[in-house]
Amino acid sequence: MKLSTRTRYGVRAALELAANQSKGPVQIKTIAHRQDISIKYLEQLMAILKSAGLVRSIRGAKGGYILAKPANQIKLSDVFNALEGPVTTVECLENKNYCARVTDCVTRQVWAEVQQAIMSVLQSMTLQDLINRTKDKKTLNYQI
């Protein structure tokens, strides 16, 4: 059970935007360079974050991306959901018609609890919280 690079890269990119909230848009190539991610790949990830309403884009020269909301209003769960898809440990948690014996399935409850546990951790943290944790706010210290 590993995190995809999509999510890891996406969180890093979102943090870059959060760290530069006051300084105007940040270009994909800047983020890609700083975080050592392929430009073309990051392009796609940003598009996902955009369609999830988490970031806004500014096209053309001097364009780039900015957060769509203040960093303290973007939960990690938002970023996670956008990129990793909903944490659905098993299909029938979303789609009740998926399994035949949904009503009294015992394992279903377990997976539901796991899912809930993950979400409550991610919902309790905003991008701003993470930024605050970094000591030197100019050089964000994260990787992966």
Partner DNA sequence: AGTATTCCTACCTTATTAGTAGTATATTAT
Partner DNA sequence: ATAATATACTACTAATAAGGTAGGAATACT
Q: Are 86 and 78 in contact (CB under 8 A)?
A: no
H or E stretch including 55? strand 55-58
Instruction: Rule CB under 6 A: say whether 143 interacts with ligand FES.
Output: yes
- Span near DNA by CB under 7 A; candidates 24-32, 98-106, 121-129, 130-138: 24-32
- Give per-residue burial for 33-58: e unless 16+ CB within 10 Å, then b: eebebeeeebeebbeebeeeebbeee
The answer to whether the Cα torsion of 133, 134, 136, 138 is positive or negative is negative
- Residues of span 56-75 touching DNA by CB under 7 A: 57-65
- Based on the shown chain and the rule CB under 8 A, indicate whether residue 45 belongs to the binding site for a copy of itself: no
Residue (58 or 110) nearer to a copy of itself, CB: 110
142 binds ligand FES (CB under 6 A): yes
Binding mask 75-104 for ligand FES (x = CB under 6 A): ---------------x-x------x-xx--
